[in-house]
Amino acid sequence: MNILVAGTGYVGTTTALVLAEMGWNVTGLDVDQNKIRLLQQGSIPFYEEGLEVLLKKHLQSGRIHFTSNTDEAIKDNDVIFLCVGTPSRSDGSADLQYVKQLAEEIGHNMDSYKLIVNKSTVPVGTQIKVTDWIRTAQLYPHPFDVASNPEFLREGKALTDALYPDRVIIGADSPQAASILKELYQTMNCPFVITTPNTAELIKYAANAFLATKISYINELAILCDELGVNVGEVAHGIGLDPRIGLSFLQAGIGYGGSCFPKDVSALLRISNVHGIPLSILEQTESVNQTQYLYLITKARERLREFDGKKIALLGLSFKPGTDDIREAASIRIARRLLAELAHIRVHDPVAKLPPELLHDSVTFCSTPEEAVEDVDAVFICTEWAMYQSIDWERMKESMNQANLFDGRNLLDAKRMKALGYYYQGIGNS
Ligand code: UDX
């Protein structure tokens, strides 16, 4: 079986490499020739641990290669994974233009049976649309199937998640499609859920929306914890030991970000609105997330009285550790707010770079956290990079103008920081 993975973003590149690791011959396809050139040379176009080693290994084993020739790639492969982007439109719905374009190219170039497998996160009903788009574009009515096989990998842990998934979801309405996918994933030692394409598509949204809801729940509860003098981490531990609740995704902070949760929550809300079935809990999940960062801003404003003329260090830009991705990162919201209130910002992140909107006279990018905190009136921790835990905070204090710490990820030990003489404010642990 020859496999084509169309789209070499996070999901596509990881999927292609994991399939090669499982022993399949894989072609990665992208219209972006620069990306293809980089991949052909053994470089990953984004930061994700472990992928480059695997890429080099399989370029050498010959099990993976990359191309931007769509027509040939479609003809040469039996199974085609769709891993192209589905960005949000302004109304929150998922923009399927790249999926449609690819489906039409597949239809046009089909010369034998193909199984098209959708891994991109798409609205319920997309499998039916993709089937129609392919059929309409076909020059000859070759048989084909379209299946849904959502991906649950996390940035920063992409390789482990994709190699050792908790479950494989296969949404297929033909036994042939389901059996090809089962054969493809035969080495995976986890439960397989074989279901309809619509169900598989909804499972992906429902999973991300549920996790986002857990986060917004603990985030809102954390603010009450501060008021009650209760530690939210202990509450999370105490409730999370109940296996019906679980310990994960109860880490309170300044809100979730990234390329999935915000987009998927808003897409699911859009789907629910279109069908006239409100998902009111999810509406609150989104609304809590949009304002969560303001809690820390408000606390800092109370402490500093105003931000005008103050120097603030932001430690961490990426939406979470282990990635250089800054999409929907809480750090950017905080920076935007501080700049609007005329603060000067000194930013550090070990891998992420300043986005164009922060290339600003009042923003300085620093190469170390020590440099970032020089002469500042407050430090905001926006991403829980482990390196910020091992900083010599005692020494850092000496170079700060005022020792104010606003820990947006509850990364540091509040008691210890206070003992070192810091004014410390976290999210529900103060
Ligand atoms: C997520 C899903 O986990 C993954 O299954 C899906 O395929 C893609 O979306 P990802 O966006 O890479 O993965 O990151 P994840 O680790 O889930 O974190 C998302 C956001 O939630 C981050 O901003 C993180 O900081 C935040 N988060 C996570 C919390 O604020 N608290 C938590 O307890 C967990």
C-beta separation of 85 from 98 below 8 A: yes
pLDDT of 232-264, one tens digit each? 999 999 999 999 999 999 999 999 999 999 999
Half-sphere exposure of 71 (CA within 13 A, CB side): 2
The Cα–Cα gap between 20 and 1 comes to 12
Compute how many other C-beta atoms are within 10 angstroms of the C-beta atom of residue 61. Answer: 12
**What residue owns the CA closest to ligand 1's atom 10?**
154
| 291-311: average pLDDT | 97
> By C-alpha distance, which of 376, 317, 302, 390 is closest to 343?
376
**What residue owns the CA closest to ligand 1's atom 7?**
152
**What residue owns the CA closest to ligand 1's atom 22?**
256
Q: Is 164 exposed, middle or buried (0-12, 13-18, 19+ CB in 10 A)?
A: exposed
283 vs 49, higher pLDDT: 283
Q: Cα 257 to the chain's mean position, in Å?
A: 7
The Cα–Cα gap between 79 and 182 comes to 13
Compute how many other C-beta atoms are within 10 angstroms of the C-beta atom of residue 415. Answer: 10
Q: What is the pLDDT of residue 94?
A: 84
321 CA distance to ligand 1 middle (Å): 10
> By C-alpha distance, which of 115, 127, 238, 118 is closest to 183?
115
The Cα–Cα gap between 183 and 176 comes to 11
Query: Tokens 């199984």 correspond to what residue?
Result: 115
Query: Is the pLDDT confidence value at 34 over 80?
Result: yes
The Cα–Cα gap between 200 and 192 comes to 12
Sheet holding 378-381, edge to edge: 363-365, 344-348, 311-315, 378-381, 404-407, 423-425
Q: Is 49 exposed, middle or buried (0-12, 13-18, 19+ CB in 10 A)?
A: middle
Q: What is the pLDDT of residue 281?
A: 98
Query: Tokens 């500093």 correspond to what residue?
Result: 304
Compute how many other C-beta atoms are within 10 angstroms of the C-beta atom of residue 26. Answer: 25
What's the mean per-residue pLDDT of the chain? 96
Annotate 348-368 with DSSP letters as a single string.
E-SS----GGG-STTEEE-SS
Q: Cα 26 to the chain's mean position, in Å?
A: 24
Q: What is the pLDDT of residue 77?
A: 96
Tokens of 2: 């020859």
Query: Is the pLDDT confidence value at 47 over 90?
Result: no
Q: By mean pLDDT, which of 86-100, 183-197, 208-222, 334-348 is the weakest?
A: 86-100
What number does the ligand 1 atom closest to the CA of 219 have?
30
Query: Is the pLDDT confidence value at 123 over 80?
Result: yes
276 CA distance to ligand 1 middle (Å): 28
Query: Is the pLDDT confidence value at 295 over 80?
Result: yes
The Cα–Cα gap between 53 and 83 comes to 21
C-beta separation of 168 from 3 below 8 A: no
Domain architecture of the chain: domains with CATH:
2-195 (3.40.50.720), 196-430 (3.40.50.720)
pLDDT of 199-212, one tens digit each? 999 999 999 999 99
Tokens of 358: 């922060």
383 CA distance to ligand 1 middle (Å): 12
Q: What is the pLDDT of residue 293?
A: 98
Q: Residues near ligand 1 with C-beta < 6 Å?
A: 151-155, 208, 211, 215, 249-251, 253, 256-258, 260-261, 319-320
The Cα–Cα gap between 430 and 428 comes to 6
Cα pseudo-dihedral 132, 138, 144, 148, rounded to 10: -40
From 120, 254, 261, 288, give the residue whose CB has the most ligand 1 atoms within 8 Å, as the site to mutate: 261
| 268-280: average pLDDT | 95
pLDDT of 78-109, one tens digit each? 999 999 998 888 887 889 999 999 999 999 99
Tokens of 429: 């642990």
252 CA distance to ligand 1 middle (Å): 12
From 211, 263, 264, give the residue whose CB has the most ligand 1 atoms within 8 Å, as the site to mutate: 211
**E strands along 149-294, which residues?**
168-171, 192-195
Q: Find the helix or strand (DSSP H, E) in which 210 lies.
A: helix 197-228
pLDDT of 128-187, one tens digit each? 999 999 999 999 999 999 999 999 999 989 999 999 999 999 999 999 999 999 999 999
Compute how many other C-beta atoms are within 10 angstroms of the C-beta atom of residue 357. Answer: 11
Q: What is the pLDDT of residue 13?
A: 97
Q: Where are the alpha helices (DSSP H) in 229-351?
A: 232-240, 261-274, 280-304, 330-340
369 CA distance to ligand 1 middle (Å): 24
**Active site residue ranges:** 260
Of the chain, the percentage scoring pLDDT greater than 90 comes to: 96
